[in-house]
Structure 1
Amino acid sequence: MSSDCTITGWDIGGAHVKAARVERGRVTGVVQVACPLWQGLDKLDAAVAQARAALGDTRHHAVTMTGEMVDLFDSRAAGVVAIVERLTAALPGELHLYAGRSGWVAPSAAAAHADDIASANWLATAAWVASRCPQALLADIGSTTSDLIVIDRGVASASRSDADRLISGELVYAGLVRTPLMALAPAVDFRGRRHRVMAEHFATTADIWRLLGELPEYADQYPAADGGAKTPQASARRLARMIGRDVDEGSMDDWRTLAATFADAQLATLVDASRALPGIANLPADAPVVCAGAGCMIAARLADALDRRAVTLASLLTDCAPTCLDDATTCAPAVATALLAETAR
């Protein structure tokens, strides 16, 4: 790569585009933009343009992605190629694609390396964290999914695909905002009685964390499940429907208690997955949980449940503009990809 000292890291997801600007090793800007990629590639164009407007242009771009998984594409490989073609047209300067264990590849090699490029953003984050913290559990809790990666003596997982990570427990489809509550538990207790949960898209994890007062406003970029208001009262109404009730059948304290029950179910899923991770038994007791993603506070809860100390990804950065610290933790793969690319130059 060129010696030019400024680079933008891109994480192209199926629901969000994240971008980070790095200048001479310093993180100077980070942005997350909603991008419902399943609705069409024009959504990617709009999100990239919005991120460029926020961060300004650079001559070099380092790209990782998970967006190839959306059902807009017939296959993951086709998704990789389509996304790279769109970015090549949209971004000025040079593109460098993160291909995990295959290193960095040019856009012209995207098809040949599609399997390595696809959904490698977790590996970018893990590789960068390993350079700062050689033994740790990386817990990146995003809007939709959670990445749980053991880093031992500077080496991350042997998994090569999302399928591998679903088998190992390193990928859990439970996030801060977009997860339907029916995915968290088949039944919950409410006011002393067991209720089976309706298998309907009535409410999402955004509702439970909003009711608990822990949902960062910037993280909630999508409409509510019913397209309605994003208030505690509206979240309580949506939550009540999950157990076949109306909101006036309970107090706000009742609905907050139910929200906490769903939150505990989400945490229990992450704890169970973490305890079964390959290599977790080899981590010493003082190895921390590195918390990242929009659901960083859920990762901190996970650390407490595992009896490990929690550190944020931003705390591992050697140089970051103070205004970017929270966003750098939220958009970890974009930041990591930019920093890895800078090191590779």
Structure 2
Amino acid sequence: MVILTIDIGGANTKTLLLLPSNDVKEEIFYFPLWKRKNELKTLIKEIKNKYKPEIVGITTTAELCDIFETKKEGERFIYRVCKQVFEDPYFLTINGELTKKEADIGAANYIASIYYLEMKFNEGILLDIGSTTTDIIPFKKNKILYGKSDLERLMKHQLIYTGMLRTPLNTIVHKIPFKGKKLRVASEFFAITADLYRVLGYIDKEEYSCETPDGKGKSIEDCKRRIARLLCSEVNEVEEELPNICEYIKNEQIKIIAEGIKEVVKESGIRKAYICGVGTKIGIEACRKIKLDYKGLNIKNLPCLGLAYMLREKGG
């Protein structure tokens, strides 16, 4: 039984093929839905033709894109596009159910991740740092410890809108230390976390998988130039201080994530994190900061993997 799972996000669409041998094939497509909504059907068709699956599962977080007036409109659009391409796909609902009917399918991909982790580890905290957001979700077999909607998870500190690639740096810091002073940064879309982590050596050019704020290159010099703009400067004006500036912003983002983890630990009583996602490196640093036990998972696409196992056990 060849199982294909697709996680349709606002910026990235991810796929995973689970073979009978348990081997997996994974792919990530940078696909900004807010720009290319009318091309989604073409992308899904290409995925179908490439893999020719026997069973298909869909999960999504793209309903939050502001091209949709409501989240329900986004869910309905994604459901209908997938139904037009695949004969009988399953959709993961916010209640953790697999359905072939139109339902509440938005913001449910983390449920598939939790399914996999409960199966493997029984209890813990999922720390999944993606390109845009961070999930900090406690899990315990046969118990529901997480909020279902994005709003509920925000209220429980289980969802933080900060990520490894697409987060504007001026949303992480409002002031930056520079030559003994704290300077207010420009409130403009000048630089993102992909620029920061490219300069710091956490990601390479290929891993900078989103668009740049200015539409220009992804070299380290390009990234430095964008970061310098936070202080309305050219690189040569701030170059001596730039390493300290980057470390400061990184540490502030880690602090944001660590504070969220502490809240989840406090409420759940669980003291071990399982870390995955493109931001695994900063997730490890956040756990170390608060002296929390952790295990790094060598899994690129946990929601799709979890959904594939759900389909094998329940839907297939």
Aligned to 2:54: 59
Once the two structures are TM-superposed, the CA of residue 232 in structure 1 deviates from its matched residue by: 1.1
The TM-score, its normalising length taken from structure 2, stands at: 0.93
- Displacement, 1:45? 2.7
1:159 is the counterpart of 2:147: yes
**Unpaired segments of 5 or more residues in structure 2?**
none
> CA separation of 1:87/1:182 partners in 2, compared to 1, >3 Å: closer, same or farther?
same
Structure 2 match to 1:199 = 187
Instruction: Tell me if structure 2 keeps the 8 A contact 1:290–1:311.
Output: yes
2: CA distance between counterparts of 1:335 and 1:160? 20
Instruction: Tell whether the 8 Å contact from 1:32 to 1:51 is kept in structure 2 after alignment.
Output: no
Q: 1:275 pairs with 259, 262, 267, which one?
A: 262
Rounded Cα–Cα distance in structure 2 between residues aligned with 1:218 and 1:334: 22
Cα contact 1:40–1:72 (8 A) shared by 2: no
Equivalent residue, structure 1, for 2:311: 341
Structure 2 counterpart of 1:72, which letter?
A: I
Matched, 1:12 2:38: no
Q: 1:258 to 1:157 in 2, by over 3 A?
A: same
Q: Which amino acid aligns with 1:118?
A: G
* Aligned with 1:242 (options 206, 209, 230): 230
Counterpart Cα distance in 2 of 1:145 and 1:261: 20
Q: Which residue of 2 aligns with 1:176?
A: 164
> What is the aligned residue count?
315
CA deviations over 1:50-91 (Å, ceiling 9, x no partner): 5446x5120211111001110121211111111011112223
What is the rounded CA distance, in whole Å, between the counterparts of 2:244 and 2:41 in structure 1? 42
The answer on whether the counterparts of 1:149 and 1:170 sit within 8 Å (CA) in structure 2 is yes
How far apart, CA to CA, are the structure 2 residues paired with 1:104 and 1:198?
Answer: 46
Tell which deviates more after alignment, 146-155 or 177-186.
146-155
Q: Which amino acid aligns with 1:96?
A: Y
Does the aligned pair in 1 maintain the 2:228–2:234 contact within 8 Å?
yes
Match of residue 35, structure 2, among 25, 35, 39: 39
Select the residue among 232, 246, 255 that pairs with 2:220: 232
Shift of 1:275: 1.0
Instruction: Tell me if 1:88 matches 2:83.
Output: yes
- Structure 1 residue 40 displacement after superposition: 3.7
3-state secondary structure, aligned to 2:136? strand
CA–CA distance in structure 1, aligned partners of residues 143 and 234 of structure 2: 50
> Compared with structure 1, are the counterparts of its residues 154 and 280 closer, same or farther at alpha carbon in structure 2 (3 Å cutoff)?
farther
Deviation at 1:161, TM superposition (A): 0.4
**Structure 1 residue 312 displacement after superposition:** 2.8
Separation of aligned partners in 1, 2:265 and 2:284: 21
Counterpart-to-counterpart distance in 1, 2:21 and 2:159: 30
Distance 1:248 1:209, change over 3 A: same
Instruction: State the 1:154 CA deviation.
Output: 5.5
Segments of 5+ residues of structure 1 without an aligned counterpart are 315-328
How big is each residue's C-alpha offset from its partner over 1:102-154, in whole Å with a ceiling of 9 and x where there is no partner? 51111xx21xx22xx11011121122211111221111111111111112355
- 1:206 is paired with a residue whose SS is helix
Give me the whole-angstrom Cα distance separating, in 2, the residues matched to 1:176 and 1:274.
16
| Aligned equivalent of 2:66, options 57, 68, 71 | 71
1:298 corresponds to which residue?
Answer: 282
Please tell me the root mean square deviation across aligned C-alpha atoms, in Å: 1.9
Contact 2:10 2:32 in 1 (8 A): yes
Given that 1:138 and 1:150 are in contact with CA atoms closer than 8 Å, whether structure 2 keeps it comes out as yes
Q: Pairwise mapping of residues 115-194 of structure 1 onto structure 2 (< 5 A)?
A: 117-153=105-141, 155-194=143-182
Aligned residue identity for 1:294: V
Residues 59 and 94 in structure 1, CA contact (< 8 A), matched pair in contact too: no
The whole-number CA distance in structure 2 between the counterparts of 1:192 and 1:46 is: 54
Question: Which secondary structure state, in structure 2, belongs to the residue aligned with residue 277 of structure 1?
Answer: helix
Please list, as runs of the form range in 1=range in 2, the aligned pairs for 1:98-109 lying within 5 A after superposition. Answer: 98-106=92-100, 109=101
Distance 1:248 1:50, change over 3 A: farther
TM-fit CA distance, 1:170: 0.8
TM-fit CA distance, 1:238: 0.7
Rate the CA distance shift 1:237–1:165 in 2: closer, same or farther, 3 A: same
Q: CA deviation at 1:165?
A: 1.1
Aligned counterparts of 1:163 and 1:278: Cα–Cα separation in 2: 19
Contact 2:138-2:268 within 8 A present in 1 as well: no
SS at match of 1:30: strand
